[in-house]
Amino acid sequence: MAVVFLQLAAVSQTGYQITVTLKPFTKGYLYLGHHFGSKQYIIDSVALNDKSQVVFAGKDKLPGGVYMVIFPAKNGWFEMLIDRQQQFSVVADTSDIIGKIRFTNSSDNDLFVTYQKMAQEKGKAIVSLQKQLKDNPGGNPDSVKIKTQITKLNTEMTEYREQFVKLHPAHLLSAIFNVLQEPKVPDAAKHPGGKFDSSFAYQYYKKHYWDGVSFTDDRLMRTPVFDPKFQRYFNSVLIQQPDTLSKAANSILDISSSNKEMFKYLLSTLTEKYINPTYMGQDAVFINLFERYYAPGKADYWMSEKYKKAVFDRAYSVMANLIGEKAADMDMVDTLKKPKPLYNVNAPYIVLCFWDPTCGHCQVEVPKLDSLFQHKWKKLGIQVYGVMTDGGNEAWMKFIHDYQLKDWLHVYQLPEVREAEYNAGKPGYKQLFDVYQTPMLYLLDKDKHIIAKKLNYEQLDEMIEVKIRDNKK
């Protein structure tokens, strides 16, 4: 028995053991989870005893972060810090979590609870003051006084965090406070020329956005505050140009590379963001990530074969059709099987329309596209190069006839040409133009450079107008 006790004690000291008493629950399971980016994950579950108690334990220490004890019905939780101290107990009551929670042998969480109580108190006061302003926005004689009080409360919270960081620089809560800290742009009098300069203010804010935040601190992955700040940086702070976004991504990833877990998290987060981006042209950021980190093998240590294949296949599909690059030629024939390669088309602008006559979406959108072409684009010398991707020649010819799609260059690829490309190991046009759905539209200039892609016909029309207007200037 003594030997067994010593073995358990050794496990307890090297791993984690957290005793949780959560009233009023006496049945079901409590769950241990943690934040991870924008998500939450459950890592353990233990049945409650009749004393409202469970013990979460494991032989390996848990990685630092903000963890959650989740209620039996998974309809609520309370948070705690797990970092240096991993053998402790906590007693809580759902009737007043913050007010009644007590930790034993966890000074980290004692400090966390003290902060939570202060933040809760000041937060309630701010909400009450804001309600007073909202209820009587124009005629409140004390509005200036109320706004001053709100500012004072916010300042007190900021000063509390700053003082905490000075006193406890290595604490997980300090790392969290550094993420929450907003850059303080100097007063207008300190701007160049002694007056407000929006460019100076923006550059200062961007430069100091990450002050105090360490990209090698993987504890931040398991907090609820890091991902929102990271997303806001790439969505709102940075100019939405692929080169700017790529440069920022490279800088952050290179700094994080000494911490494998943080590097993995940041690279996978950025990959998910730009592999199918919200805005046209930002897939160039994904290609930058691929060429700089994936292709050289810098991510091989964590990628599964399935993930690696998905990333590499996607990269090869996107590489050939980046904005600004020259579109690949297409060896196509027309309705009479006469050769009509893309590069033989001469027009100031070329609209590529990849479509399928049996596709319900195409049946709605292609006639609308043709209406724009017939009444507007054709007069401007614009050519539509319509590529039949699937559906069969009979359905294709019938649709062209029924909807009077005149003056298009209607083309398709002969089966023997497709087979020859496949046997030679050459990418087909669907891969080269990333055609994964129909209709799919591209806009090329006279030299076949890609100006726009994957827009709807209305967006494409707006892009054409902008380009023509710019050319006139």
Would you state the structure tokens that stand for residue 187, as one six-digit string? 């007063």
Q: What proportion of the chain, given as a percentage, has pLDDT over 70? A: 96
Q: 3 falls in which pLDDT band (50, 70, 90)?
A: very low
Neighbours of 419 (CB within 10 A): 10
pLDDT 10s digits, 266-318: 999 999 999 999 899 999 999 999 999 999 999 999 999 999 999 999 999 89
Neighbours of 412 (CB within 10 A): 22
Please give the C-alpha separations between residue 398 and each of 15, 52, 370, in angstroms, as whole numbers.
Answer: 71, 72, 16
The CATH topology of domain 2-105 is: Immunoglobulin-like (2.60.40)
pLDDT 10s digits, 411-457: 999 999 999 999 998 999 999 999 989 999 999 999 999 999 999 99
For 332-354, letters b (16+ CB in 10 Å) and e give: bbeeeeeebebeebebebbbbbb
According to DSSP, the β-strands at 77-82 and 383-388 are unpaired
pLDDT 10s digits, 216-256: 999 999 999 999 999 999 999 999 999 999 999 999 999 99
Which residue, chain included where needed, has tokens 């923006």?
Answer: 202
**CB under 8 Å to 73, separation ≥6 — which residues?**
28
CA distance 473 to 469: 7
CA distance 352 to 236: 32
Q: Dump the DSSP string for 180-207.
A: HPPP-PPPGGGSGGGS--HHHHHHHHHH
The pLDDT value recorded for residue 135 is: 78
Q: What residues form DSSP beta bridges with 182? A: none
Neighbours of 242 (CB within 10 A): 21
CA distance 462 to 204: 35
Helices (H) and strands (E) in the chain, counts: 16, 13
pLDDT 10s digits, 30-82: 999 999 999 999 999 999 999 999 999 999 999 999 999 999 999 999 999 99
Q: Which CATH superfamily is domain 342-472 in?
A: Glutaredoxin (3.40.30.10)
Contact (Cβ atoms closer than 8 angstroms) between residue 172 and residue 194: no
Q: How many CA atoms lie within 13 A of 212 on its CB side?
A: 20
